Chains A and B, each alone.
Chain A
Amino acid sequence: MIKARIEEKLHTAFSPTYLKVKDESHLHVGHENYRPGGNSHFSVTIVSSFFCGMNRIQRHQKVYACLEEELKSGVHALRLKTLCPEEVASPEAV
C-alpha cells in the first residue's frame, strides 16, 4: 500500500507532530497519469520542527527527496503543505 509507505517514510524522516496523507487520485480521472485503483496523486500535510528556518522550496525538496523512490515508481503528483509547528495556531488550523 503506497499510502502507508509514504506515511511511514515521512514519520521516520521528519518525526512530524501532525501528518495527513490522502490519496486524491480519483480527482484526476482522465489525466495522462491516472490509473484505475488510485495511488497516483497524493496530498500530504505535514507539521514538523524539521522545517523551521527553511523556505518553502527547501521544505518541499526535503519531502520530494524522502519520497524519491515513490515518485519514480508511479506516484505522479504530491500536493504539499509543509509547516513548522510555530506556524500552526492550533491543530484544527492545519
Chain B
Amino acid sequence: MSDVFDQIRKDLASHEVVLYMKGNDKFPMCGFSAAVVQILKTLNVPFKFVDVLQDAEIREGIKTFTNWPTIPQLYVKGEFVGGCDIVREMYQMGELQDLLVEKGISTSA
C-alpha cells in the first residue's frame, strides 16, 4: 500500500487540483464523477484527473488514503475537499469558488 500512497502523494504535490474519478474528463463513466467534472469545467478550473478504473490499486488506495469509501474525490492543493455531494453543495453555495480563490487558483467565476 505504501507505493500507492507515494504515487497519490506525488500526484497531489505536483498538481493544484486533482480529481480521482471513474473514466476520463471527456467520458466520465459514472454520473457522480461526471457531475464534478462538469462543475470544474463550468468554473474553468484546470485539473489533473486520475481514472481509478485504470488502476485497481489506486482505486482502493485512495479510499484508504482519505478514509473515504467512494469515488469521485476532489483535492485542492493537496487537501481533500469532498466527494460529489459536498462539491455540488459547495458549488451551489459559492463556497467552492471562494475556496479556489483562497487557494490562489484562477477560475472564470
Q: Which residues of A contact B (CB under 8 A)?
A: 28, 31-32, 56-57, 60-61, 64, 68, 71, 77-81
Contacts and interface: CB of A to CB of B under 8 A. Distances in A.
B30 A31 contact: yes
Interface of B: 29-32, 67-70, 80, 82-86, 89-90
Contacts of A61: 67-68
A89 B29 CA distance: 37
17 contacts: A56-B86, A57-B68, A57-B80, A57-B82, A57-B86, A60-B68, A60-B82, A60-B83, A60-B86, A61-B67, A61-B68, A64-B68, A64-B69, A64-B70, A71-B70, A78-B70, A79-B85
B interface SS class: mixed
A13 B32 CA distance: 27
A60 B31 CA distance: 19
Given A56-B86, A60-B83, A77 B70 contact: yes
Contacts of A78: 70
Contacts of A77: 32, 70
A53 to B, nearest CB: 17
B82 A56 contact: yes
A28 B30 CA distance: 9
A81 B85 contact: yes
A80 B70 CA distance: 12
A87 to B, nearest CB: 12
A28 B29 CA distance: 12
B89 A56 contact: yes
Contacts of B90: 56
Contacts of B68: 57, 60-61, 64
